[in-house]
């Protein structure tokens, strides 16, 4: 897919791999919608893009731990943008490391499930009309190789909580959502895929978890851009990639009954 003249939204793009992807997308001639929750970092990136001659870029501030702010973000895009060609759900929070404590979102949901999964679920559904009006369009969900099956009797992990389990469950939920999206949008010109971009990239999130980085954000950006522009993926969705190679996710991702339970729960939690 050629990006010149396209509009691309990248959540969580004021830092880390999202920032690199925003710069690459801008360099390809796209209109870039930068998202983050830190105004200073957002304005800094917009300044860098415009200094490099990429003037068609704007910053949208929203804290995705609040579903109300997710709705405000979607409304801002719906009312201000003529089109939306690419949605990259990249924003997320890590496991919190070995001392990670269970936290709740503004809406009372386990925080990693809320930010890493529910926010993208809601945002994507709210922007589907715009994506469908801009076909051929693409959705890229940035997941992880770290995946844990969802215990539907305790989705918010009130018992036996660990940050690693919470993070891994949220990432599997993203993958299950991607497979469902592919089935829902089949034949409608919107392609949805997901990926593990790279292992332990040199990001603040990885460092804060106490882990030594072993990959670069540039490697992760390569993998994300592959799902954005690869002609081989035109019309081919519902797939999980380990970097730039198609891979198999955790088995629960391919269980239609589990995906149906997750979909029903997600619709209820987000009020869709």
As a dihedral over the C-alpha atoms of residue 272, residue 193, residue 37, residue 16, rounded to 10 degrees, the angle is 170
Q: Tokens 């925080």 appear where?
A: 111
Of 8, 203, 11, give the one whose Cα is nearest residue 120.
Answer: 11
31-36 β-sheet, strand order? 57-61, 31-36, 7-10, 86-89, 137-142, 190-196, 240-242, 245-247
- 167 classed as catalytic: yes
Measured distance CA(17)–CA(92) in Å, rounded = 11
Phi first, then psi: what are they for 245, rounded to 5°? Answer: -115, 135
Measured distance CA(265)–CA(181) in Å, rounded = 15
Choice among 109, 167, 200, 254 that is catalytic: 167
Of 224, 250, 269, give the one whose Cα is nearest residue 171.
Answer: 250
The residues carrying an active-site annotation are 167
């Amino acid at each position: 897919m050629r990006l010149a003249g396209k509009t691309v939204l990248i959540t969580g793009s004021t830092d880390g791999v999202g920032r690199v992807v925003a710069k690459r997308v801008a360099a390809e001639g796209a209109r870039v919608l930068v998202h983050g929750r830190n105004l200073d970092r957002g304005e800094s990136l917009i300044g860098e893009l415009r200094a490099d001659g990429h003037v068609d870029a704007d910053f949208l501030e929203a804290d995705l731990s609040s579903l109300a702010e997710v709705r405000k973000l979607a409304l801002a895009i719906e009312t201000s943008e003529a089109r939306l060609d690419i949605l990259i759900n990249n924003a997320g929070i890590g496991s919190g490391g070995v001392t990670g404590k269970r936290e709740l979102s503004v809406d009372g949901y386990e925080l990693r499930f809320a930010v890493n999964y529910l926010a993208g679920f809601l945002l994507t559904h709210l922007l589907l009309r715009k994506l469908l009006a801009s076909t051929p369009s693409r959705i890229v969900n940035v997941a992880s190789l770290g995946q844990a099956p969802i215990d539907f009797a305790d989705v918010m992990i009130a018992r036996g909580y660990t940050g690693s389990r919470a993070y891994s469950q949220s990432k599997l939920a993203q993958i299950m959502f991607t497979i469902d999206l592919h089935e829902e949008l089949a034949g409608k010109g919107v392609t949805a895929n997901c990926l593990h971009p790279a292992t332990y990239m040199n990001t603040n999130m990885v460092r804060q978890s106490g882990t030594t980085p072993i990959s670069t954000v540039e490697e992760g950006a390569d993998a994300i851009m592959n799902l954005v522009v690869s002609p081989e993926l035109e019309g081919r969705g519902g797939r999980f990639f380990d970097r730039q190679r198609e891979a198999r996710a955790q088995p629960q991702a391919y269980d239609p009954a589990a995906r149906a339970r997750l979909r029903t729960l997600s619709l209820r939690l987000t009020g869709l």
